[in-house]
Amino acid sequence: MLSKKNLQEIKEFEKSGIDVVAIGSNGTLDYSTQSIGGCEYCDQCSAFRLLPDPDPFDWFRDNDMKAVCLEVNGVIASSLERPSEYTNICKPIYCPKLGRKLSEDEKKEATERLEWARKRMK
């Protein structure tokens, strides 16, 4: 939860044209200027978390983040470097909150992608 002081600082940054992303201590996206919201993006979902995703092969990319879905226990996106990338993550086809029924082909694809996402979580 953001304090009043943090909210004041955020508003000052926004007035000067600077985009702001605030990540909570448990990885939640607490605030974002670029937040799109709506049913087709993950950034407003309660199961969405941002976790560190350092690249073991590149010493200069230690600040990377990965988007994780606690609902399916899988990685949605990785190697996210910029705050704008944290908020533009579309719901994957295997998302239980997608809001539409899948065709048989889509169900097969969703199963394969979900398996891959869970493997990446480990």
Domain chopping of the chain, boundaries = 22-121
* Ordered per-residue pLDDT tens for the chain, 122 residues: 667 777 778 777 777 777 677 777 766 666 666 544 445 778 778 889 988 887 777 666 677 888 999 999 999 988 888 877 887 788 888 888 877 788 888 889 889 999 999 998 87
What pLDDT score was predicted for residue 38?
47
For 50, residues 6+ apart whose C-beta sits below 8 A from its C-beta are 23, 27, 28, 29, 65, 66, 67, 68, 80, 86
Strand 29-32 and strand 21-23: the pairing is: antiparallel
